[in-house]
Structure formats: structure tokens, C-alpha cells
Amino acid sequence: MKLAGFLVLVAGWAIVLGAVALFSVSLLRTGFVLAGVGVEALGLVLAVRSHAERRGGPA
């Protein structure tokens, strides 16, 4: 689960990178950057929850 969380984090960053590199229209670019950050937030929640469910045991 923690691995999945990290993969989602990287996927969110890829959306942000794509938005910055490919879009020149300000609104579209901002929208995709926000979407990428939203995906990252999901990944972070997934990683944090998977750790918390094990009550903090070592990785």
C-alpha cells in the first residue's frame, strides 16, 4: 500500500510536469497543475494511512 502511495505521488508529479512543459494557456496549465497536486495529495494519504494502519511498525 505504501508503494502504491508513492507511485501515485510520482504520477501526480508527472501530471504537473506535463502541464508546465506542454500547455501555454494559463488557465489550462493552472488547472492541470492543481489536478496533479490533487493526485499527489491522494498518494500522500494512501502512504500515510498504510503506515498508520500498522501502528508505525518499521518498514
Partner 1 sequence: MTAPPLLSETAVAVCMASLLFVPLAGAGLALINSGLGRSRNAAHTMMASLCVLAIAAVAYFIAGFAWQGFAGWPAHAVTVAGKSWSWISAGHFFFRGLALNGSPASLAAWFGMLSAGLAALIPLGSGAERWRLRAACASTVLLAGWTYPLFAHWAWGGGWLAQLGANGGLGRGFVDAGGSGVIQVVGGLTALSIAWILGPRRGKYAAGGMPAAIPGHNVVLVLLGCLLALPGWAGLNSAGSLLFLRVEPGRVVLIAVNTTLAAAMGALAAGMTSSRFGKPDASLTANGWISGLVASSAGCALVTPLAAAAIGLVAGGLAALSAEWFELRFAVDDPSGAVSVHAVGGIWGVMAAGFWGRFPAGAMGGSSGQWVAQLVGIATLLGFVFPLTYALNRLLNRFCPYRVEPEGERQGLDLYELGAGAYPEFITHTDDLTLG
Q: Does 12 bind partner 1 (CB under 8 A)?
A: yes
Q: Does 28 bind partner 1 (CB under 8 A)?
A: no
CA separation for the pair 13, 39 (Å, rounded): 8
- Count residues contacting partner 1 (CB under 8 A)? 32
Name, in order, each residue with C-beta under 8 angstroms of 10's C-beta and a sequence gap of 6 or more: 43
Under DSSP, is residue 23 helix (H, G, I), strand (E, B) or coil?
A: coil
> Residues interacting with partner 1, by CB under 8 A?
2, 6, 9-14, 16, 20-22, 24, 26, 29-30, 33-34, 36-37, 40, 43-44, 48, 51-52, 54-59
